[in-house]
Amino acid sequence: MKSDDQFPPEIAAAFRDYPQIGASPEFDSQIWARLDEKSKQYRGFRGLCRRVWELEIEGVAVWRLVGSTVSGGLFSLLVLGLGYWLTKPTTPAAPLPQNPPTMAMAGPLYARQWRNFQPPPRVFVPAKREERGEVSCAGFSGRWA
Partner 1 sequence: MHTSNSLASQRLQLANRHDAELLRRARNGERAALEILLGQSRGKILNLAFQILRDPDAAEDAAQETFVRAFQKLPLFRGESEFSTWLYRLALNLCLEKRRTLQRREQSAQNAPDEAKSENFAARIETRIALENALDELPESLRLPLILREWHGLNYEEIAEVLRIPVGTVKSRLNAARRQFRQVWEAQNEE
Name residue 142's beta-bridge partners: 126
Q: Determine if 139 is a binding residue for partner 1 (CB under 8 A).
A: no
DSSP codes of every residue in 17-68: HSPPP---TTHHHHHHHHHHHHHHHT-HHHHHHHHHIIIIIGGGTHHHHHHH
CA–CA gap between residue 47 and residue 123 (Å, rounded): 81
Q: Determine if 40 is a binding residue for partner 1 (CB under 8 A).
A: no
Q: Determine if 1 is a binding residue for partner 1 (CB under 8 A).
A: no
Binding segment for partner 1 (CB under 8 A), chosen from 5-13, 69-77, 104-112, 117-125, is: 5-13
Residue 124 sits at φ, ψ, to 5 deg, of -85, 120
Binding segment for partner 1 (CB under 8 A), chosen from 8-16, 64-72, 109-117, 124-132, is: 8-16
Q: Which residues are near partner 1 by CB under 8 A?
A: 2, 4-8, 11-12, 14-15, 17-24, 27, 30-31, 34-35, 38-39, 51, 54-55, 59
